[in-house]
Amino acid sequence: MPTDFKDSRDAGGAGDAETSSEAGSPRDAEAAAAGEGAAEQLVYGVGDERVSLTTRTREALYRFRVGLQEGMPLPLVIQGGIEAIQVYVLGLLVVALPVAGAAMSGGWLGADVSEVARVTGRWWLLGHGVPLVRSEAAIGGAGTMWFLPLGFVVLPGWLAWRAGRRLARASWSDQLWQAMLGSLLVYGVLGIVTTWWASSELIASPWWGALLIPLVIHGLGLIGGAWREAGSFGRLIGFNAAERVLHHSQYQRWAGSYVWAVVRAGFVGLVMAVGLASAAFTVQLVLHWVDVINTVMRLNPGLWGGAALMLLQLVFVPNIVMYTLAYVSGGGFALGSTTSISAFGSFGTDMPPLPVLGMLPDGPQVWVVAIPVLAGVVAGWWFMREGENHLEEWLTLRFSQRWIGVTLSSLMLGLLVGAVSAVGFVVLALLSSGTLGLGIFTWIGPHVWVSAGLLVAEIGVGAVLGNVAAPLFERDPVLDD
Protein backbone atom coordinates (compact mmCIF):
# COMPACT_ATOMS: atom_id res chain seq x y z
CA MET A 1 0.00 0.00 0.00
CA PRO A 2 1.39 3.41 -0.87
CA THR A 3 2.70 5.62 1.87
CA ASP A 4 0.44 8.43 3.01
CA PHE A 5 2.11 11.79 3.61
CA LYS A 6 -1.16 13.45 4.64
CA ASP A 7 -1.74 14.81 8.11
CA SER A 8 -2.59 12.07 10.57
CA ARG A 9 -5.28 14.31 12.05
CA ASP A 10 -7.55 13.35 9.13
CA ALA A 11 -7.35 9.69 10.10
CA GLY A 12 -7.72 10.53 13.76
CA GLY A 13 -10.76 12.69 13.16
CA ALA A 14 -12.40 9.99 11.07
CA GLY A 15 -11.72 7.40 13.74
CA ASP A 16 -13.17 9.59 16.48
CA ALA A 17 -16.30 10.25 14.46
CA GLU A 18 -16.76 6.53 13.78
CA THR A 19 -16.28 5.65 17.45
CA SER A 20 -18.74 8.26 18.61
CA SER A 21 -21.36 7.09 16.09
CA GLU A 22 -21.01 3.50 17.29
CA ALA A 23 -21.22 4.37 20.98
CA GLY A 24 -24.10 6.85 20.61
CA SER A 25 -27.77 6.29 21.53
CA PRO A 26 -31.07 8.09 20.76
CA ARG A 27 -30.89 9.81 24.15
CA ASP A 28 -27.36 10.97 23.40
CA ALA A 29 -28.50 12.27 20.03
CA GLU A 30 -31.32 14.26 21.65
CA ALA A 31 -28.90 15.71 24.21
CA ALA A 32 -26.47 16.64 21.46
CA ALA A 33 -29.24 18.33 19.47
CA ALA A 34 -30.32 20.27 22.53
CA GLY A 35 -26.73 21.32 23.14
CA GLU A 36 -26.36 22.51 19.57
CA GLY A 37 -29.55 24.53 19.84
CA ALA A 38 -28.35 26.12 23.07
CA ALA A 39 -25.00 26.90 21.51
CA GLU A 40 -26.75 28.51 18.56
CA GLN A 41 -28.78 30.70 20.90
CA LEU A 42 -25.60 31.67 22.75
CA VAL A 43 -23.97 32.71 19.51
CA TYR A 44 -26.85 34.48 17.84
CA GLY A 45 -28.92 35.50 20.85
CA VAL A 46 -32.32 34.12 19.76
CA GLY A 47 -32.64 30.89 17.84
CA ASP A 48 -35.46 31.97 15.53
CA GLU A 49 -33.89 35.31 14.54
CA ARG A 50 -32.21 35.77 11.17
CA VAL A 51 -28.40 35.56 11.30
CA SER A 52 -26.79 38.94 10.66
CA LEU A 53 -24.68 39.68 7.61
CA THR A 54 -21.64 40.33 9.80
CA THR A 55 -21.92 36.91 11.44
CA ARG A 56 -22.39 35.12 8.10
CA THR A 57 -19.39 36.96 6.64
CA ARG A 58 -17.26 36.06 9.66
CA GLU A 59 -18.22 32.38 9.33
CA ALA A 60 -17.52 32.39 5.58
CA LEU A 61 -14.08 33.90 6.12
CA TYR A 62 -13.36 31.34 8.84
CA ARG A 63 -14.34 28.45 6.57
CA PHE A 64 -12.19 29.91 3.78
CA ARG A 65 -9.21 30.21 6.12
CA VAL A 66 -9.64 26.63 7.34
CA GLY A 67 -9.87 25.49 3.73
CA LEU A 68 -6.58 27.17 2.91
CA GLN A 69 -4.90 25.56 5.92
CA GLU A 70 -6.23 22.07 5.28
CA GLY A 71 -5.85 22.20 1.50
CA MET A 72 -8.22 22.63 -1.40
CA PRO A 73 -9.87 19.58 -3.02
CA LEU A 74 -8.16 20.05 -6.39
CA PRO A 75 -6.29 17.63 -8.67
CA LEU A 76 -2.65 17.28 -7.69
CA VAL A 77 -1.43 18.71 -10.99
CA ILE A 78 -3.43 21.90 -10.40
CA GLN A 79 -2.25 22.12 -6.79
CA GLY A 80 1.34 21.90 -8.00
CA GLY A 81 0.69 24.66 -10.53
CA ILE A 82 -0.79 26.93 -7.85
CA GLU A 83 2.26 26.38 -5.65
CA ALA A 84 4.55 27.27 -8.57
CA ILE A 85 2.65 30.52 -9.15
CA GLN A 86 3.04 31.44 -5.47
CA VAL A 87 6.79 30.80 -5.57
CA TYR A 88 7.13 32.84 -8.76
CA VAL A 89 5.14 35.86 -7.55
CA LEU A 90 6.91 36.07 -4.19
CA GLY A 91 10.34 35.76 -5.78
CA LEU A 92 9.49 38.42 -8.35
CA LEU A 93 8.29 40.82 -5.65
CA VAL A 94 11.53 40.46 -3.70
CA VAL A 95 13.47 41.46 -6.83
CA ALA A 96 11.07 44.25 -7.81
CA LEU A 97 11.34 46.17 -4.52
CA PRO A 98 15.08 47.04 -4.68
CA VAL A 99 14.91 47.65 -8.43
CA ALA A 100 12.03 50.08 -7.92
CA GLY A 101 14.01 51.72 -5.12
CA ALA A 102 16.96 52.20 -7.45
CA ALA A 103 14.64 53.74 -10.03
CA MET A 104 13.18 56.12 -7.44
CA SER A 105 16.66 57.30 -6.49
CA GLY A 106 17.26 58.38 -10.09
CA GLY A 107 20.82 57.16 -9.97
CA TRP A 108 20.74 53.95 -11.99
CA LEU A 109 17.49 53.82 -13.92
CA GLY A 110 14.90 56.16 -15.27
CA ALA A 111 11.45 56.32 -13.75
CA ASP A 112 9.95 54.40 -16.68
CA VAL A 113 7.77 51.57 -15.36
CA SER A 114 8.43 49.34 -18.36
CA GLU A 115 12.19 49.60 -17.83
CA VAL A 116 11.79 48.73 -14.15
CA ALA A 117 9.72 45.69 -15.14
CA ARG A 118 12.32 44.54 -17.66
CA VAL A 119 15.20 44.92 -15.20
CA THR A 120 13.18 43.03 -12.57
CA GLY A 121 12.62 40.17 -14.99
CA ARG A 122 16.30 40.09 -15.96
CA TRP A 123 17.43 39.90 -12.35
CA TRP A 124 14.90 37.12 -11.70
CA LEU A 125 16.31 35.19 -14.65
CA LEU A 126 19.89 35.89 -13.58
CA GLY A 127 19.06 34.74 -10.04
CA HIS A 128 17.92 31.40 -11.46
CA GLY A 129 21.07 30.91 -13.53
CA VAL A 130 19.70 31.99 -16.92
CA PRO A 131 22.33 33.82 -19.03
CA LEU A 132 21.68 37.28 -20.45
CA VAL A 133 22.95 37.92 -23.98
CA ARG A 134 23.84 41.45 -25.10
CA SER A 135 23.75 42.58 -28.71
CA GLU A 136 26.37 44.62 -30.54
CA ALA A 137 24.36 47.81 -29.96
CA ALA A 138 24.40 47.38 -26.16
CA ILE A 139 26.83 49.23 -23.92
CA GLY A 140 30.09 47.28 -23.93
CA GLY A 141 29.27 45.46 -27.15
CA ALA A 142 28.19 41.88 -27.62
CA GLY A 143 28.69 39.46 -24.76
CA THR A 144 27.05 37.01 -22.39
CA MET A 145 26.48 37.68 -18.71
CA TRP A 146 26.12 34.67 -16.45
CA PHE A 147 26.60 35.25 -12.76
CA LEU A 148 24.54 33.37 -10.19
CA PRO A 149 23.99 35.29 -6.92
CA LEU A 150 23.93 32.42 -4.44
CA GLY A 151 22.21 34.58 -1.83
CA PHE A 152 19.19 34.99 -4.09
CA VAL A 153 19.01 31.25 -4.80
CA VAL A 154 18.07 30.72 -1.15
CA LEU A 155 14.71 32.49 -1.61
CA PRO A 156 13.17 30.48 -4.50
CA GLY A 157 14.76 27.34 -3.10
CA TRP A 158 13.17 27.90 0.32
CA LEU A 159 9.79 28.75 -1.20
CA ALA A 160 9.94 25.61 -3.35
CA TRP A 161 10.94 23.62 -0.26
CA ARG A 162 7.79 24.77 1.54
CA ALA A 163 5.72 24.00 -1.55
CA GLY A 164 7.20 20.50 -1.66
CA ARG A 165 6.17 19.88 1.94
CA ARG A 166 2.61 21.00 1.25
CA LEU A 167 2.37 18.86 -1.89
CA ALA A 168 3.73 15.84 -0.01
CA ARG A 169 1.06 16.26 2.66
CA ALA A 170 -1.60 16.26 -0.05
CA SER A 171 -0.29 13.19 -1.91
CA TRP A 172 0.26 9.49 -1.65
CA SER A 173 3.77 8.32 -2.40
CA ASP A 174 2.76 6.95 -5.82
CA GLN A 175 0.91 10.17 -6.71
CA LEU A 176 3.48 12.76 -5.64
CA TRP A 177 4.95 12.89 -9.14
CA GLN A 178 1.70 14.38 -10.44
CA ALA A 179 1.91 17.39 -8.12
CA MET A 180 5.62 17.91 -8.84
CA LEU A 181 5.07 17.59 -12.58
CA GLY A 182 2.36 20.25 -12.49
CA SER A 183 4.56 22.57 -10.46
CA LEU A 184 7.56 22.12 -12.78
CA LEU A 185 5.50 22.65 -15.93
CA VAL A 186 3.94 25.87 -14.66
CA TYR A 187 7.28 27.19 -13.37
CA GLY A 188 8.90 26.52 -16.73
CA VAL A 189 6.10 28.34 -18.56
CA LEU A 190 6.46 31.29 -16.20
CA GLY A 191 10.17 31.38 -17.01
CA ILE A 192 9.38 31.67 -20.72
CA VAL A 193 6.84 34.42 -20.00
CA THR A 194 9.47 36.27 -17.98
CA THR A 195 12.06 36.20 -20.74
CA TRP A 196 9.40 37.38 -23.19
CA TRP A 197 8.58 40.60 -21.33
CA ALA A 198 12.09 41.15 -19.93
CA SER A 199 13.93 40.96 -23.26
CA SER A 200 14.66 43.88 -25.54
CA GLU A 201 16.69 44.57 -28.66
CA LEU A 202 19.78 45.14 -26.51
CA ILE A 203 19.53 42.39 -23.88
CA ALA A 204 17.73 39.06 -24.16
CA SER A 205 17.92 35.54 -22.81
CA PRO A 206 17.38 32.24 -24.67
CA TRP A 207 13.89 30.82 -24.28
CA TRP A 208 15.20 27.31 -23.71
CA GLY A 209 17.34 28.57 -20.82
CA ALA A 210 14.38 30.35 -19.24
CA LEU A 211 12.34 27.15 -19.60
CA LEU A 212 14.81 24.59 -18.26
CA ILE A 213 17.39 26.24 -15.99
CA PRO A 214 14.98 27.62 -13.33
CA LEU A 215 13.56 24.11 -12.99
CA VAL A 216 16.82 22.97 -11.36
CA ILE A 217 16.40 25.21 -8.31
CA HIS A 218 12.64 24.69 -8.19
CA GLY A 219 12.90 20.92 -8.57
CA LEU A 220 15.58 20.54 -5.91
CA GLY A 221 13.48 22.63 -3.53
CA LEU A 222 10.39 20.50 -4.16
CA ILE A 223 12.31 17.26 -3.63
CA GLY A 224 13.95 18.59 -0.47
CA GLY A 225 10.62 19.68 1.00
CA ALA A 226 8.93 16.38 0.16
CA TRP A 227 11.89 14.50 1.65
CA ARG A 228 11.60 16.55 4.84
CA GLU A 229 7.90 15.79 5.08
CA ALA A 230 8.33 12.07 4.34
CA GLY A 231 11.25 11.68 6.74
CA SER A 232 13.46 9.74 4.30
CA PHE A 233 14.01 9.20 0.61
CA GLY A 234 13.05 5.57 1.00
CA ARG A 235 9.60 6.48 2.26
CA LEU A 236 9.36 9.21 -0.36
CA ILE A 237 9.74 6.79 -3.29
CA GLY A 238 8.53 3.61 -1.58
CA PHE A 239 12.02 2.06 -1.26
CA ASN A 240 13.03 0.07 1.83
CA ALA A 241 16.80 0.49 2.13
CA ALA A 242 17.08 -1.61 5.29
CA GLU A 243 15.53 -4.59 3.53
CA ARG A 244 17.92 -4.28 0.60
CA VAL A 245 20.94 -4.12 2.91
CA LEU A 246 19.99 -7.50 4.40
CA HIS A 247 20.64 -9.15 1.03
CA HIS A 248 24.35 -8.22 1.14
CA SER A 249 27.14 -10.03 2.95
CA GLN A 250 28.67 -8.77 6.18
CA TYR A 251 31.84 -7.66 4.38
CA GLN A 252 29.78 -5.60 1.94
CA ARG A 253 27.92 -3.99 4.83
CA TRP A 254 31.21 -3.10 6.53
CA ALA A 255 32.53 -1.60 3.30
CA GLY A 256 29.34 0.38 2.78
CA SER A 257 29.39 1.61 6.37
CA TYR A 258 33.00 2.77 5.99
CA VAL A 259 32.35 4.57 2.69
CA TRP A 260 29.26 6.30 4.08
CA ALA A 261 31.19 7.45 7.15
CA VAL A 262 33.99 8.80 4.92
CA VAL A 263 31.50 10.71 2.75
CA ARG A 264 29.90 12.29 5.81
CA ALA A 265 33.33 13.15 7.23
CA GLY A 266 34.20 14.86 3.95
CA PHE A 267 30.97 16.82 4.17
CA VAL A 268 31.85 17.83 7.73
CA GLY A 269 35.24 19.02 6.51
CA LEU A 270 33.63 21.07 3.73
CA VAL A 271 31.07 22.64 6.07
CA MET A 272 33.78 23.46 8.59
CA ALA A 273 35.99 24.99 5.89
CA VAL A 274 33.12 27.15 4.60
CA GLY A 275 32.30 28.22 8.16
CA LEU A 276 35.89 29.20 8.91
CA ALA A 277 36.09 31.06 5.58
CA SER A 278 32.92 32.95 6.54
CA ALA A 279 34.51 33.91 9.86
CA ALA A 280 37.67 35.08 8.08
CA PHE A 281 35.58 37.15 5.66
CA THR A 282 33.67 38.75 8.55
CA VAL A 283 36.86 39.66 10.41
CA GLN A 284 38.41 41.14 7.26
CA LEU A 285 35.26 43.14 6.55
CA VAL A 286 35.20 44.59 10.07
CA LEU A 287 38.88 45.56 9.86
CA HIS A 288 38.38 47.33 6.51
CA TRP A 289 34.90 48.70 7.13
CA VAL A 290 36.09 52.29 6.70
CA ASP A 291 37.44 51.51 3.22
CA VAL A 292 34.10 49.99 2.21
CA ILE A 293 32.16 53.03 3.48
CA ASN A 294 34.49 55.41 1.64
CA THR A 295 33.83 53.53 -1.60
CA VAL A 296 30.07 53.83 -1.08
CA MET A 297 30.35 57.56 -0.40
CA ARG A 298 32.31 58.07 -3.62
CA LEU A 299 29.51 56.38 -5.56
CA ASN A 300 26.89 58.62 -3.87
CA PRO A 301 23.91 56.36 -4.71
CA GLY A 302 21.37 58.19 -2.55
CA LEU A 303 18.98 56.71 -0.01
CA TRP A 304 17.10 54.25 -2.21
CA GLY A 305 20.11 53.56 -4.37
CA GLY A 306 22.19 52.84 -1.27
CA ALA A 307 19.58 50.38 -0.03
CA ALA A 308 19.52 48.67 -3.42
CA LEU A 309 23.33 48.57 -3.46
CA MET A 310 23.36 46.98 -0.01
CA LEU A 311 20.89 44.27 -1.09
CA LEU A 312 22.93 43.67 -4.24
CA GLN A 313 26.04 43.04 -2.17
CA LEU A 314 24.15 40.84 0.30
CA VAL A 315 23.00 38.41 -2.39
CA PHE A 316 26.63 38.03 -3.49
CA VAL A 317 28.00 37.41 0.03
CA PRO A 318 27.89 33.57 -0.38
CA ASN A 319 29.87 33.97 -3.61
CA ILE A 320 32.48 36.06 -1.79
CA VAL A 321 32.65 33.43 0.97
CA MET A 322 33.61 30.84 -1.65
CA TYR A 323 36.26 33.23 -2.97
CA THR A 324 37.54 33.52 0.60
CA LEU A 325 37.78 29.74 0.88
CA ALA A 326 39.74 29.64 -2.37
CA TYR A 327 41.99 32.39 -0.98
CA VAL A 328 42.75 30.58 2.29
CA SER A 329 43.45 27.36 0.39
CA GLY A 330 46.22 29.15 -1.49
CA GLY A 331 44.66 28.76 -4.93
CA GLY A 332 43.10 32.21 -4.93
CA PHE A 333 40.49 33.74 -7.21
CA ALA A 334 40.27 35.97 -10.27
CA LEU A 335 38.45 39.28 -10.65
CA GLY A 336 38.74 39.41 -14.42
CA SER A 337 41.45 38.38 -16.82
CA THR A 338 44.05 40.78 -15.37
CA THR A 339 43.55 40.48 -11.59
CA SER A 340 44.31 37.47 -9.40
CA ILE A 341 44.39 37.38 -5.60
CA SER A 342 45.68 34.56 -3.37
CA ALA A 343 47.30 34.03 0.01
CA PHE A 344 50.72 33.85 -1.67
CA GLY A 345 50.42 37.15 -3.51
CA SER A 346 48.28 39.25 -5.82
CA PHE A 347 48.65 41.01 -9.12
CA GLY A 348 46.44 43.44 -11.01
CA THR A 349 44.25 46.25 -9.70
CA ASP A 350 41.24 46.17 -12.02
CA MET A 351 38.11 44.90 -10.28
CA PRO A 352 34.32 45.29 -10.48
CA PRO A 353 32.91 48.48 -8.86
CA LEU A 354 31.52 46.74 -5.79
CA PRO A 355 32.20 48.52 -2.47
CA VAL A 356 32.58 45.29 -0.50
CA LEU A 357 35.72 44.52 -2.52
CA GLY A 358 37.43 47.32 -0.63
CA MET A 359 38.12 44.80 2.14
CA LEU A 360 40.53 42.75 0.02
CA PRO A 361 43.82 42.08 1.87
CA ASP A 362 47.08 43.75 0.94
CA GLY A 363 50.12 41.53 0.41
CA PRO A 364 50.59 37.80 1.04
CA GLN A 365 49.00 36.06 4.03
CA VAL A 366 50.57 32.60 3.93
CA TRP A 367 49.47 31.63 7.44
CA VAL A 368 45.80 31.41 6.40
CA VAL A 369 46.43 28.04 4.69
CA ALA A 370 46.19 26.57 8.19
CA ILE A 371 42.44 27.24 8.15
CA PRO A 372 41.55 24.30 5.84
CA VAL A 373 43.90 22.09 7.88
CA LEU A 374 41.88 22.94 10.99
CA ALA A 375 38.70 22.00 9.13
CA GLY A 376 40.30 18.65 8.28
CA VAL A 377 41.19 18.08 11.95
CA VAL A 378 37.51 18.46 12.85
CA ALA A 379 36.53 16.04 10.06
CA GLY A 380 39.04 13.42 11.20
CA TRP A 381 37.95 13.77 14.81
CA TRP A 382 34.31 13.41 13.76
CA PHE A 383 35.13 10.24 11.79
CA MET A 384 36.78 8.66 14.82
CA ARG A 385 33.70 9.36 16.94
CA GLU A 386 31.09 8.42 14.33
CA GLY A 387 32.31 5.48 12.27
CA GLU A 388 34.14 2.22 12.78
CA ASN A 389 37.41 2.13 10.86
CA HIS A 390 36.85 -1.20 9.14
CA LEU A 391 39.68 -0.51 6.70
CA GLU A 392 42.16 -0.35 9.57
CA GLU A 393 40.85 -3.65 10.94
CA TRP A 394 41.13 -5.32 7.53
CA LEU A 395 44.68 -4.03 6.92
CA THR A 396 45.78 -5.10 10.40
CA LEU A 397 44.50 -8.64 9.81
CA ARG A 398 46.10 -8.77 6.38
CA PHE A 399 49.59 -7.57 7.39
CA SER A 400 49.53 -8.88 10.99
CA GLN A 401 51.05 -5.59 12.15
CA ARG A 402 48.81 -2.96 13.72
CA TRP A 403 51.15 -0.08 12.97
CA ILE A 404 50.94 -0.88 9.27
CA GLY A 405 47.15 -0.95 9.42
CA VAL A 406 46.98 2.33 11.35
CA THR A 407 49.41 4.09 9.00
CA LEU A 408 47.86 2.96 5.73
CA SER A 409 44.27 3.46 6.90
CA SER A 410 45.05 6.96 8.20
CA LEU A 411 46.66 7.97 4.92
CA MET A 412 43.74 6.54 2.96
CA LEU A 413 41.28 8.30 5.26
CA GLY A 414 42.99 11.65 4.71
CA LEU A 415 43.00 11.18 0.94
CA LEU A 416 39.33 10.16 0.78
CA VAL A 417 38.06 12.84 3.16
CA GLY A 418 40.05 15.53 1.36
CA ALA A 419 38.76 14.31 -2.01
CA VAL A 420 35.11 14.37 -0.88
CA SER A 421 35.50 17.89 0.52
CA ALA A 422 37.23 19.02 -2.68
CA VAL A 423 34.41 17.64 -4.84
CA GLY A 424 31.89 19.66 -2.84
CA PHE A 425 34.11 22.72 -3.16
CA VAL A 426 34.31 22.31 -6.95
CA VAL A 427 30.51 22.33 -7.22
CA LEU A 428 30.13 25.42 -5.04
CA ALA A 429 33.06 27.21 -6.68
CA LEU A 430 31.68 26.69 -10.18
CA LEU A 431 28.26 27.95 -9.07
CA SER A 432 29.82 31.03 -7.46
CA SER A 433 31.85 31.86 -10.57
CA GLY A 434 30.64 33.68 -13.63
CA THR A 435 31.27 36.24 -16.30
CA LEU A 436 30.05 39.78 -16.81
CA GLY A 437 30.88 39.63 -20.51
CA LEU A 438 32.34 43.14 -20.32
CA GLY A 439 35.92 43.90 -21.32
CA ILE A 440 38.38 42.20 -18.98
CA PHE A 441 35.66 40.82 -16.68
CA THR A 442 35.24 37.65 -18.68
CA TRP A 443 35.85 35.40 -15.66
CA ILE A 444 35.20 36.14 -12.01
CA GLY A 445 35.59 33.40 -9.46
CA PRO A 446 37.97 30.96 -7.76
CA HIS A 447 40.82 29.20 -9.51
CA VAL A 448 38.77 26.05 -9.15
CA TRP A 449 41.13 23.20 -9.90
CA VAL A 450 44.21 24.63 -8.21
CA SER A 451 42.20 25.40 -5.07
CA ALA A 452 40.56 21.96 -5.13
CA GLY A 453 43.93 20.21 -5.36
CA LEU A 454 45.30 22.21 -2.46
CA LEU A 455 42.18 21.49 -0.39
CA VAL A 456 42.64 17.75 -0.92
CA ALA A 457 46.11 18.02 0.63
CA GLU A 458 45.20 20.49 3.40
CA ILE A 459 41.97 18.89 4.57
CA GLY A 460 43.52 15.45 4.12
CA VAL A 461 46.48 16.31 6.38
CA GLY A 462 44.10 17.74 8.95
CA ALA A 463 41.91 14.61 8.81
CA VAL A 464 44.93 12.40 9.49
CA LEU A 465 45.98 14.56 12.44
CA GLY A 466 42.46 14.67 13.86
CA ASN A 467 41.91 10.93 13.51
CA VAL A 468 45.26 10.08 15.13
CA ALA A 469 45.01 12.65 17.92
CA ALA A 470 41.35 12.11 18.80
CA PRO A 471 41.89 8.91 20.89
CA LEU A 472 44.29 10.84 23.13
CA PHE A 473 41.51 13.19 24.20
CA GLU A 474 38.44 10.98 23.98
CA ARG A 475 37.19 8.98 26.94
CA ASP A 476 36.49 5.29 26.34
CA PRO A 477 33.26 4.44 28.23
CA VAL A 478 34.30 0.77 28.53
CA LEU A 479 37.98 0.98 29.47
CA ASP A 480 37.74 4.08 31.67
CA ASP A 481 34.96 2.76 33.94
- d(CA 356, CA 309) in angstroms, rounded, equals 10
Nearest to 377 by CA among 253, 286, 461, 321: 461
- d(CA 447, CA 342) in angstroms, rounded, equals 9
- End residue of a domain, out of 70, 86, 110: 70
Say if residue 62 is in the same domain as residue 105.
Answer: no
* Domains contained in the chain, number: 3
Say if residue 223 is in the same domain as residue 260.
Answer: no
Tell me the β-bridge partners of 147. Answer: 434
Strands 203-204 and 333-335: unpaired
Say if residue 291 is in the same domain as residue 376.
Answer: yes
Strands 143-147 and 132-134: antiparallel
Say if residue 352 is in the same domain as residue 421.
Answer: yes
**In sequence order, what are the residues at sequence separation of 6 or more whose Cβ sits closer than 8 angstroms to the Cβ of residue 427?**
none
- End residue of a domain, out of 42, 70, 98: 70
**In sequence order, what are the residues at sequence separation of 6 or more whose Cβ sits closer than 8 angstroms to the Cβ of residue 71?**
79, 166, 169, 170
Residue 481 lies in a domain: no
Q: Check residue 59 and give its pLDDT.
A: 85
Count Cα atoms within 13 angstroms, Cβ side, for 433: 20
- d(CA 324, CA 388) in angstroms, rounded, equals 34
Q: Check residue 6 and give its pLDDT.
A: 53
Q: Check residue 110 and give its pLDDT.
A: 55
Say if residue 56 is in the same domain as residue 201.
Answer: no
277, 328 in Cβ contact below 8 A?
yes
Say if residue 332 is in the same domain as residue 429.
Answer: yes
Say if residue 462 is in the same domain as residue 395.
Answer: yes
- Domain range for 41: 8-70
Say if residue 453 is in the same domain as residue 332.
Answer: yes
In angstroms, the Cα distances linking 354 to 101, 146, 220, 296, 357 are: 18, 17, 31, 9, 6
Residue 3 lies in a domain: no
- d(CA 235, CA 230) in angstroms, rounded, equals 6
- d(CA 287, CA 246) in angstroms, rounded, equals 57
Say if residue 133 is in the same domain as residue 233.
Answer: yes
Question: Mind listing the pLDDT tens digit for each residue in 17-55?
Answer: 443 333 444 444 444 444 444 444 444 444 445 677 788
pLDDT tens, position by position, for the chain (481 residues)? 444 555 443 444 444 444 333 344 444 444 444 444 444 444 444 444 567 778 888 888 887 777 666 655 678 889 899 999 999 999 999 888 888 877 776 655 556 788 888 889 999 999 999 999 888 877 777 788 888 899 889 999 999 999 999 888 888 777 888 889 999 999 999 999 999 988 888 888 899 999 999 999 999 999 998 888 877 666 666 665 556 656 666 667 677 778 888 899 999 999 999 999 999 999 998 888 888 888 777 777 667 667 777 888 888 899 999 999 999 999 989 888 788 888 888 877 677 777 788 788 877 888 999 999 999 999 999 888 876 776 777 777 777 777 777 788 888 889 999 999 999 999 999 999 988 877 777 888 899 999 999 999 999 999 999 988 877 776 655 545 5
Instruction: Kindly report the length of the chain.
Output: 481
Q: What is the pTM of this model?
A: 0.77
Residue 478 lies in a domain: no
Residue 480 lies in a domain: no
Say if residue 294 is in the same domain as residue 430.
Answer: yes
- End residue of a domain, out of 184, 215, 242: 242
Give me the torsion for CA of 428, 93, 219, 309, rounded to 10°. Answer: -10
Question: Mind listing the pLDDT tens digit for each residue in 247-262?
Answer: 666 667 677 778 888 8
Say if residue 111 is in the same domain as residue 227.
Answer: yes
- d(CA 379, CA 421) in angstroms, rounded, equals 10
Q: Check residue 11 and give its pLDDT.
A: 43
Say if residue 186 is in the same domain as residue 318.
Answer: no
Question: 186: buried, middle or exposed (CB in 10 Å: 19+, 13-18, 0-12)?
Answer: buried
- d(CA 331, CA 334) in angstroms, rounded, equals 10
